[in-house]
Structure 1
Amino acid sequence: MTATQGKQHGVDVRDLERILERCKLELTPVDEVLPNLFIGNVAIAQNRTHLKKMGITHVLNAAHKKQGSIGDQEFYGEVFLYHGIPAEDSSKFDLSVYFRPAADFIHTALKKKDGKVFVHCIMGMSRSATLVLAYLMLKRRLPLRDAVQTLVKRRAVFPNRNFLNQLLELEEQLQRKRRFCPLL
């Protein structure tokens, strides 16, 4: 989708980047962005003791098997349920193929009694934030602009432009579907 196409629906990449740039928060190792939903960096992800103290039950790694990102189900054992997505923070990577699986993982975890989800990449700014935004759009039915505004109130995030365009495409798909089937 081009920026012009996105603008037809009231928002384009530049609008989203302006919202992200207005965030006054400092980047921290981890933040609770919604009740029981956390975004953070790889250092927190690799500290199982800290995750346990936080009450984390599920770990979603948006940098699975990437340099500097250790983690798989064996690493987390029986204490945490793990889901890895081998995403690259690049202008070419198609993260959109993982939007639904990631949203389903987060949604299922949060529905569990005492479920707490930690979503991370390397810094906790782009890949992980994009997957949480997709979750907000797919499962919480938030428009992209509202999802971004919700997130920047709680964490300094900045998805790359490629990922923002993929989220705009998701928004367009959801709008089309909801036009024809409002209960979706």
Structure 2
Amino acid sequence: MSRKEEPEYQTPPTCDLLGLLLKNRRPTGAVNEVWPNLYVGDAATARDKSLLAGLGVTHVVNAADGPQHIDTGPRFYEDTDILYHGVEAADCKQFDLCPFFTETADFIHGALRQEGKVLVHCARGVSRSATLTLAFLMIKEGLTLVEAVEAVRRRRNILPNVGFLNQRKVSCCVEPS
């Protein structure tokens, strides 16, 4: 059956998504490779330049950019070859991450096409960074929201805040390319 003949994908209700995110949780480290050459991690990982070098990270996405959050920025990495992309996002249910999905997915996709390695991080590596990673997988890899969650959850416990899930921005703002 071709994609055009398939029924339109329906995003599951928030309670089903939460159930999927909370199922079989187990400890994960500060940073995990969740897709080939794509890592999700916390702020401490992003600040550890020797760890990043050891992982071979060439690009960093800070989903908690800015002076009120995790103020690394491109200057923090100027003594490395790391390219930086910042998203000044608050981890609150009212914050709309949707406007950042495409530009962040393009940044990640471009890095991976150049055989780079990307770290996407926020404070703890479970909400903002996870949401941007899910958006990338949907936009550039053509996964459904459930497929993206399952792919990431195989390697890392994530839990985007309920506001991000309720907004359904992860599924309604993306158009696979």
Q: Above 0.5 in TM-score?
A: yes
Q: Which amino acid aligns with 2:134?
A: L
Separation in structure 1 between the aligned mates of residue 148 and residue 93 of structure 2, nearest angstrom: 22
Q: Which amino acid aligns with 1:121?
A: C
1:12–1:105 CA distance, 2 compared to 1 (3 A): same
Q: Any idea what SS the aligned residue of 1:148 has?
A: helix
* 8 Å CA contact 2:93, 2:161 repeated in 1: yes
RMSD value, Cα: 1.8
Task: Give 2:60's aligned residue.
Answer: 59
Ranges in structure 2 where 5+ consecutive residues have no aligned partner: 1-8
Q: Which runs of 4+ in 1 moved over 6 A?
A: none
1:95–1:9 CA distance, 2 compared to 1 (3 A): same
Task: Give 1:5's aligned residue.
Answer: none
Task: Give 2:93's aligned residue.
Answer: 91
* 8 Å CA contact 2:92, 2:163 repeated in 1: yes
How many residue pairs get matched?
A: 168
Q: Any idea what SS the aligned residue of 1:18 has?
A: helix
Please state how far the C-alpha of 1:10 moved relative to its aligned partner: 5.2
Separation in structure 2 between the aligned mates of residue 146 and residue 67 of structure 1, nearest angstrom: 33
Ranges in structure 1 where 5+ consecutive residues have no aligned partner: 1-7, 179-183
Identity of aligned residues (%): 42
> Deviations 1:132-163 (Å, cap 9, x if unpaired)?
00001100111111111111111010001111
Q: Which amino acid aligns with 1:107?
A: H
**Alignment partner for residue 82 of structure 1, among 76, 81, 84?**
84
Separation in structure 1 between the aligned mates of residue 68 and residue 156 of structure 2, nearest angstrom: 24
> Deviations 1:86-135 (Å, cap 9, x if unpaired)?
0000011111110111111110000003x000000000000000000000
Separation in structure 1 between the aligned mates of residue 117 and residue 169 of structure 2, nearest angstrom: 29
Q: Any idea what SS the aligned residue of 1:131 has?
A: helix
Separation in structure 1 between the aligned mates of residue 10 and residue 85 of structure 2, nearest angstrom: 33
Q: Which amino acid aligns with 1:151?
A: V
Instruction: Report matched runs for 1:39-58 at 5 Å.
Output: 39-58=40-59
Q: Any idea what SS the aligned residue of 2:39 has?
A: strand
Report the TM-score when normalising by structure 1: 0.85
Task: Give 2:145's aligned residue.
Answer: 144
Separation in structure 2 between the aligned mates of residue 160 and residue 61 of structure 1, nearest angstrom: 17
Separation in structure 2 between the aligned mates of residue 173 and residue 96 of structure 1, nearest angstrom: 6
Instruction: Report matched runs for 1:1-184 at 5 Å.
Output: 9=10, 11-67=12-68, 69-77=70-78, 78-113=80-115, 115-166=116-167, 168-172=168-172, 184=177
Please state how far the C-alpha of 1:171 moved relative to its aligned partner: 2.4
Task: Give 2:4's aligned residue.
Answer: none
